[in-house]
Structures are given as structure tokens and as C-alpha cells.
Structure 1
Amino acid sequence: MHTVRNRKKLLERTRKIRGQIEGLERLLEESTGEGDDVSLILQTVASSRGALNGLMCELIEGHIREHVQSGHEISVRDRDQVVEVIKRYLK
């Protein structure tokens, strides 16, 4: 399975996301409510969301490539098109 094969990479990404979320928590705890604080918080939320979407995209892509074999449900070309659509949607 793709999650086992890519476990180390996926765990590294997950740990980075955890660090971003912990940083966001610290920012919220320490925020004075000033404009600069809010801007940094929003940037951190956007970065965290992007990282989560990237992880989701990688997992979905691995799942499709692993479980949708050519000659079965869809062709390789169609499968790759589905992966591209998902990638665009999640970015």
C-alpha cells in the first residue's frame, strides 16, 4: 500500500504541519489584536491549509494510482486526468 511505502515521507509532512499548527496556537495565545498580529495569523492559517491540502492531494493521488489499475475501471490516461483535476482542486 502506498501509505506504508511512503510512510517516512508522509510522517515528515505531518510533523511539519503539526509544527505549523502549534505555531498558530502560540500566535493566537500571544496576539495583542494589532493588525500585524492578525496578518501573521492569517498567513499562518493559509500556509497550514496549503500544507494539509498538499498532504491530502498526495494521499489521494497515491490511492488512485495504487487502486485504479489500467484496464480495469478506467484507462491510465483517464486516471492521470483524474489525478490532475484533484491536484488543481486541492491547491
Structure 2
Amino acid sequence: MTHTIREKQRLLARVRRMRGQVEAIERALESEAECEKVMHLLAGVRGAIAGLMAEVVEDHVLTHLVDQEKHPEALNAEAAEQLLVVIRTYLK
């Protein structure tokens, strides 16, 4: 079972919140809201998508890069965490 299936409901909840954020952008544009409000809404969606991407990438790294059952000594936990720190920073 992949991590996206295992975490399906939680990930879908995040996507649904993002959908609500995108709909708020649409409403703001339709109502000719101030640029500042639209930019804040856009920044929120961008952050939400980056957060989701970081979570999926992190789970992927920890789940799929090395099969811990077949190669228990192959996973360098410190190196994996260093990579994830870089990814989290990049996606902010």
C-alpha cells in the first residue's frame, strides 16, 4: 500500500481546503476586490500547495527510496532528514 492511499482521507481534506481557497480567489476577482486581498489569497493557496507537495515528497522519500524490510541498513536516516530539510525550505 502506498503512502498516498494510506493517507488518502487526510490528503483529500487538504485538497478540499485548497479548493475552497481557490474558490475564494475566484469570488474576489469576480467582485473586483483590491489587489492586496487577491495577492493574500494567492499566497495562501501557494503555501497550501507547497505544504501538500512537501508532505507527499517527505512520505515518498521515507517510504519508497529504500525498502527498509529488504535493506534495513541501507537507509541513512540522517541523510534522508537533511534532504527533507532542504526540500521543505525550497517549497516554502
With structure 1 as the length reference, what TM-score do the two structures score? 0.88
Residue deviations 1:55-85, cap 9 Å, x none?
000010010000122633x511111111111
Contact 1:2 1:62 in 2 (8 A): yes
Give structure 1 stretches of 5+ with no counterpart. Answer: none
Residue deviations 1:5-57, cap 9 Å, x none?
1101000000000000011011111106xxxx111000000001000000000
1:1-91 matched pairs, under 5 angstroms: 1-31=2-32, 37-69=34-66, 71-72=73-74, 75-91=76-92
Higher-helix-fraction structure: 1
Q: CA deviation at 1:89?
A: 0.7
Q: Give the paired residue count.
A: 86
Alpha-carbon separation, structure 1, partners of 2:48 and 2:83: 21
Coordinate RMSD, CA, aligned? 1.3
Percent identity over paired residues: 37
Alpha-carbon separation, structure 1, partners of 2:3 and 2:88: 17
Q: Which ranges of 4 or more aligned residues in structure 1 deviate by more than 4 Å? A: none
With structure 2 as the length reference, what TM-score do the two structures score? 0.87
